[in-house]
Structure 1
Amino acid sequence: MLITETDEKSRLQWWKDAKFGLFIHWGLYALPAKGEWAMYAARTPVAEYEQLAKQFNPVKFSAKEWVNLAKTAGMKYLVITAKHHDGFAMFHSKVEKFNIVDATPFQRDPIKELAEECQKQGIKLCFYYSHVIDWHHPHSIHEYYNNTWDYQLEDKAFYRYWNQIAKPQVKELLTRYGPIGLMWFDTAGGLSKKDSREMVDLVHNLQPDCLVNSRVSHWPGMGDYQSKGDNEIPMYAEDTKPWETPMTLNKSWGYHIQDQDWKKPESIIYKLVNIVSKGGNLLLNVGPTAEGLIPEQSTKRLLEIGDWINRNSEAIYETDPSPFPYEFDWGAITVKSGKVYLHLYHKYCPQNELVLCGLKCKVAKAYFLANGIPLETNQSYQAEGDHHELRILLPSELPDQYVSVMALELDEQLEVDESFIQQASGTIKLDLVHADIDLKKQQATWDFKVVNPGTFEVVLVNFKKEGVDWAEDGGKKHVVNVNGQRLEVIPKEDIILEESQSCQYPYREVNSNLGRIKLHRDTFTLSLISDTVREKPQFTEIWQAEAVKLRAIKLIPVI
């Protein structure tokens, strides 16, 4: 089926406008309550795992309550695990008896009930489907994660699984449950380019408007949009395709009774705003219990997020990303026709006055969405250095909870200084994704503008994966050159941030002090030489492959 560029853009529009979705990991693995990889982790034999189905009876499941929760939380679509890696179908599959209707005392099809309820409440129903990993089936073959305790790899015949289970079940999902928003495939290790394309075409032929995520394949260019690595938030403009971050409320995806490490509502709202300001979607996960209940801790957080979104929906849905190429210390920016929205993080927002550098167009009016009260503004321009500033007088108390959103109504077409410029705090942040990369020299280079001269601490920003030895993977020589000044340093883990705008489990943000430089008012070029310099990733799940990821250089004024 030939899909034109115009068709692709129109098919994606509802999803790009939605910004926020509910991910649901639910299956037999809710019974042992050790997460969705429980079968693999314990090497549970298929015959033993099948016995769980006889105990699975989620009589407290309510499609109406689940969909209503998603809607109240401000979510526009719902993605549920129709089949995860354990091979158990959470729908009435005709091609495999290992499903919730035929193999359990529940004998109901929750997918059918969710489809009906999503139609009633105006939520897009979408399916997660594990198309390559299937530990229950003797012929499923993945590059790494196979059931080798029941089956021999050399005896596997992949196309028996592919043609008798995977494709027929995808067809069932797309022909029996009405319009489906997207198919969320996962973990495609080893799948050929031909078979990847076959799955994409199967979906589009059955439902031309149904989207396919990039995890359908490890071959670049597959799918309609980019699925980031689990919990990954990219830097500004890191992705050329529309993208989405799948994120958990705690650390597990499926229900895990011992995982009580819940993200705070404040942190989730920060992450949501950060993601939307970069042009992405947040797909936020819950793991229901074996009884069919979404855990109370998840529900409480979703309701609190929904309260905040309800007050600030204008600055979230159908918005465009920030026109600036970097994060701000105080929050984030989204835009819509004739308006710029400043999302002020209460924890990091300056007192008394907010200064936005680089906004060139005239602001007619400024006010908070929470109360509509006009705010006093002042715009100025310094010809020396070509520097624009907008100053906004802030009230003694911000009007919302966690994040207060300010609307700027513009008198002119939106125009900003797209260069790396010094902000009001004095900091200059240079993201690796915007550098000129010379891989032969292992060098990243940026141009940036200094408005307020002085002495600056040069700080290296890395994301380090949990359990990684810094000395082995991060502690190697780095060379910085700027304005005739040279720093040659082996970075240390000087600061490990507990809260980071763009970094979260299984990574942590590490800041390393490389030394100090002096700069006057001018435009400069900074180069960084390091074997951690990489081109930006071109396809999915690179995130999970690297022990330490270089993200940015920051120049922080020394007071």
Structure 2
Amino acid sequence: MSNSTEVKQAQRMKWWTEAKFGMFVHWGLYAIPGQGEWQMYSEKIPVKEYEKLAGQFNPVRFDAREWVRIAKEAGMKYIVITAKHHDGFAMYSSSVEPFNIVDATPFKRDPMKELAEACLEEGIRLCFYYSHVIDWHHPHSVHNAANNTWDYRMEEKDFPIYWNSLAKPQIRELLTQYGPVGLLWFDTAGGLSKEDSEDMVAHVRSLQPECLVNSRVSHFKGMGDYQSKGDNETPMYGEDERPWETPMTLNRTWGFSPKDQVWKTTESLVRKLVHIVSKGGNLLLNVGPSPEGTIPGESVERLKELGEWTGRNAEAIYAASASPFPYEFDWGAITAKPGKLYLHIHNDKWPKTGKLVLRGVRNRVSHAYLLADPGKRALETEQTFDDGLQLHTLAIGLPAQAPDSYVSVVVLELEGENDIDSGFTVLPSGSLKMDIPSGRLTEGYVIAGFEGGGPVRNAEWSVMVPQPGTYRLSLVSFRRTDAVLEEGFKAGVELVMNDRPFVGIPKEDRIITDSPACQHPYSEVHSIMGEVEIPRPGHYSLTLKSALIKERHSKFTEIWQADPVKLRSVMLVRI
């Protein structure tokens, strides 16, 4: 990519990278039965039967200004709404397909037009979700897996007919009828050729050059302007080389589902937002409006409370960059701006000693204060340097009680440009969690005594251990609800530190219920591998070998939610 192209790309992306927080809206005919947006496929509902839902769809309580107000007060900067989902129903006035909300329902209004007007008034970017490959209503839509084969015969499908007579013309409608569109959010591109993917991106660029395109426009890696992570998936440190976004639900489903009452708490949502921003990403948080056109009260309540927190802490979120440290902190997370670090401390992790210790800050701290304190009264700080270990330590004096709700922010103003030791150093608490892609990845060999499971790879770190002692080594994995951990690790694991090897199949020793990174349908599982003695302070090599370590540069994007067990991190804890 040339310098001029990189500059143009950065300019196009600027609003999005600064926004950090958006609203996802899954709304369509599937709201009526309330069984989720995949019901037509899962129950093999015939097209003629499914079309009858349109005659019942009359969301008379829909109020575009109210929706936009809810999003804005939550601190969201953009809205992505399903203009067409996999069922093929257009939630706008489409001249190329009568199966749309204006022509096929008693509602007769175009909610996208009303949202475009409301977003323009409030300074919110309107964006559209469009299912460009899966369309169960159209006889010629072809996906690599999820096709309508109960109404249509696969051998009679002719994908170019669908592509050229519906998909591309509807994209033209969306990009010419509603003013400036922030981005087009494509979904599930399995089986789409690279040529057709590039054709769609070029089509969008020809209509609105500044409109962003997400990576799900293609299953080939590197397409689009930014990386859409898997549903509810927060990536690991070192996993993504370009901007990314996590689409996440407030409960467990995307479309309206009155049976799904498993709602994330406001505290959990604040922590997840902070965690995602600290890793350099955006959070796209979903609501599923009712058939009447209202956003569920449980969603509205949480978004209001979330907005109260983002309003007080906007400086530490919007336009902030990722933490300069390549690992998580057991007390919270860090975001950054030039000359500033923002320490987001979970209230239940607020230091009882009245002091927070942070290693690796080389700058002199000129001023430290609580973001919730309008007077910016100085917090006491002490900085020391261990010449032998080349280790910088900062101690920050804190009040006895956390000043804000859920997560409280400490601001560090630094002299000069941010200068941080980004090496792996055990935290003052005696723990350190290292995500797999943050290590040096190499090809490995089959672990003795185990077979199968694909190619083995190595991840290696150099770890500074400031305090000697006995350390427990554990693995962190995400296990899908229908998976067995031991089966996922059937090829074995080998972990070596200070010449001490640990070989075996990880077991489910602990489940973390309040993980800021793990969402349904996965659970965060910790597996103890053993204990190692560290005789003296210094740097130690740690190497992990496993068939579950992903290669860094694959041809295709990872299939979302496909892996039953995902190996995430190695954790070191002094005991």
Q: Considering the TM-score relative to the shorter chain, is it more than 0.5?
A: yes
Shifted more, 500-509 versus 60-69: the winner is 500-509
Distance, in Å, in 2 between the alignment partners of 1:42 and 1:463 is 29
Contact 2:350–2:401 under 8 Å retained in 1: no
Matches within 5 A, 1:488-527: 488-519=503-534, 520-527=536-543
Would you say 1:471 and 2:470 are equivalent positions? no
**Are residues 1:549 and 2:566 paired?**
yes
Name the structure 2 match of 1:364.
366
Q: Give the letter for the 2:91 counterpart.
A: M
Q: CA deviation at 1:409?
A: 0.9
In angstroms, what is the RMSD of aligned CA positions? 1.3
Q: String of CA shifts for 1:466-493, please: whole Å, max 9, x gaps.
A: 2102221135532222222222232110
SS in 1 for 2:313: helix
| 1:503 Cα deviation after fit | 1.3
Q: Which amino acid aligns with 1:248?
A: T
State the 1:415 CA deviation: 0.8
> Residues of 2 paired with 1:188 and 1:532: CA distance?
24
Task: Name the structure 1 match of 2:349.
Answer: 348
Cα deviations by residue, 1:347-393 (Å, 9 ceiling, x for unpaired): 23322211111111110111111113321111111112111111111
Aligned partner (choices 540, 544, 561) of residue 528 of structure 1: 544
CA contact (8 A) 1:491 1:513 kept: yes
1:184 and 1:213 in contact (8 A); partners too: yes
- One-letter amino acid of the structure 1 residue matched with residue 44 of structure 2: R
What secondary structure does 1:516 align onto?
A: strand
Partner of 2:433: 429
Is 2:357–2:428's contact at 8 Å kept on the other side of the alignment?
yes
CA distance in 2, matches of 1:41, 1:373: 58
Partner secondary structure for residue 335 of structure 1:
strand
What does the per-residue CA deviation read over 1:275-317, in whole Å, with 9 as the maximum and x for residues that have no partner? 0011100000000000000000000010111000000000001
Letter in 2 for 1:363: V
- Superimposed CA distance per residue, residues 371-425 of structure 1 (whole angstroms, 9 cap, x where no aligned partner): 1332111111111211111111111111100000111111232111111001111
Q: Which residue of 2 aligns with 1:82?
A: 83
Change (3 A) 1:5 1:411: closer
Other-structure match for 2:495: 480
Q: Give the letter for the 1:533 counterpart.
A: I
Distance 1:478 1:151 in 2: 46
Q: 2:424 aligns with which of 417, 420, 423?
A: 420
Q: Which amino acid aligns with 2:400?
A: S
Q: Distance in 2 between matches of 1:407 and 1:72?
A: 24
Are 1:116 and 2:128 counterparts?
no
Shift of 1:83: 0.2
User: Matched residues in 1 for 2:257 and 2:560: separation?
Assistant: 24
Residues 1:403 and 2:427 aligned together? no
Q: Deviations over 1:45-69 (max 9, x none)?
A: 1111111101100000000000011
Shift of 1:94: 0.2
Distance 1:377 1:95 in 2: 65
- Matched-pair contact (CA < 8 Å) for 1:475–1:491: no
Q: CA deviation at 1:543?
A: 4.4
Matched pairs, number: 557
Cα drift, residue 217 of structure 1:
0.3
Where does residue 448 of structure 2 map in the other structure? Answer: none
Hey, what's the Cα distance between the residues in 1 that align with 2:84 and 2:504? 49
2-side partners of 1:4 and 1:424: how far apart?
44
Deviates more, 1:458-467 or 1:483-492: 483-492
SS in 2 for 1:457: strand
User: How do residues 434-473 of structure 1 correspond to structure 2 at under 5 angstroms?
Assistant: 434-441=438-445, 442-473=457-488
- Where 1:526 maps in the other structure, the secondary structure is strand
User: Match of 1:462, SS?
Assistant: strand
Show the counterpart of 2:42.
Answer: 41
Q: What TM-score, normalized to structure 1?
A: 0.98
C-alpha change, 1:552 and 1:357, in structure 2 (3 Å) is same
Aligned to 1:274: 275
Unaligned runs of 5+ in 1: none
Separation (CA, whole Å) in 2 of partners of 1:150 and 1:445: 52
Q: Deviations over 1:460-518 (max 9, x none)?
A: 11111121022211355322222222222321100011111211112111100011001
Query: Which segments of 5 or more consecutive residues in structure 2 lack a partner in the other structure?
Result: 446-456
2:299 is equivalent to residue 283 of structure 1: no
CA contact (8 A) 2:472 2:572 kept: yes
Tell me the equivalent position of 2:450. none
Superposition TM-score, scaled by structure 2 size? 0.95
Q: List per-residue Cα deviations over 1:518-539 (Å, max 9, x = no partner).
A: 1121111111222222224655
**CA shift digits 1:429-466 (9 cap, x unpaired):** 22211111222333221111110110000011111112
Which of 388, 398, 416 matches 1:394? 398
Question: Which deviates the most, 327-336 or 340-349?
Answer: 340-349
- Distance in 2, matches of 1:287 and 1:470, equals 32
The answer to whether the Cα contact below 8 Å between 1:378 and 1:390 also exists between their aligned partners in 2 is yes
Q: Determine helix, strand or coil for the equivalent of 2:561.
A: helix
CA–CA distance in 1 between the matches of 2:488 and 2:562?
13
Does the aligned pair in 2 maintain the 1:229–1:540 contact within 8 Å? Answer: no
Query: Are 2:444 and 2:545, in contact at CA under 8 Å, matched by a contact in 1?
Result: no
**Percent identity between the two aligned chains:** 56
Mapped contact 1:480–1:488 kept (Cα < 8 A): yes
- 1:176-210 Cα distance to aligned partner (Å, 9 max, x none): 10000000000001001110000000001100000
| In 2: Cα distance, 1:542 partner to 1:501 partner | 22
Determine the structure 2 residue equivalent to 1:132.
133
Q: Does residue 1:339 correspond to 2:340, yes or no?
A: yes
Structure 1 equivalent of residue 453 of structure 2: none
In 1, Cα distance between equivalents of 2:123 and 2:242: 26
Query: In structure 1, what residue type is equivalent to 2:292?
Result: E
SS in 2 for 1:104: coil
Contact between 2:182 and 2:211, CA under 8 Å: does it hold in 1? yes
| 1:233-292, Cα deviation, whole Å (9 max, x unpaired) | 012232101000000000100001111110011011101000001110000000000000
Match of 1:191 in 2: 192
SS in 1 for 2:254: coil
Of 377, 380, 383, which aligns to 1:376? 380
CA contact (8 A) 2:485 2:506 kept: no
Structure 1 counterpart of 2:116, which letter?
A
Give the residue type in structure 1 aligned to 2:443: L
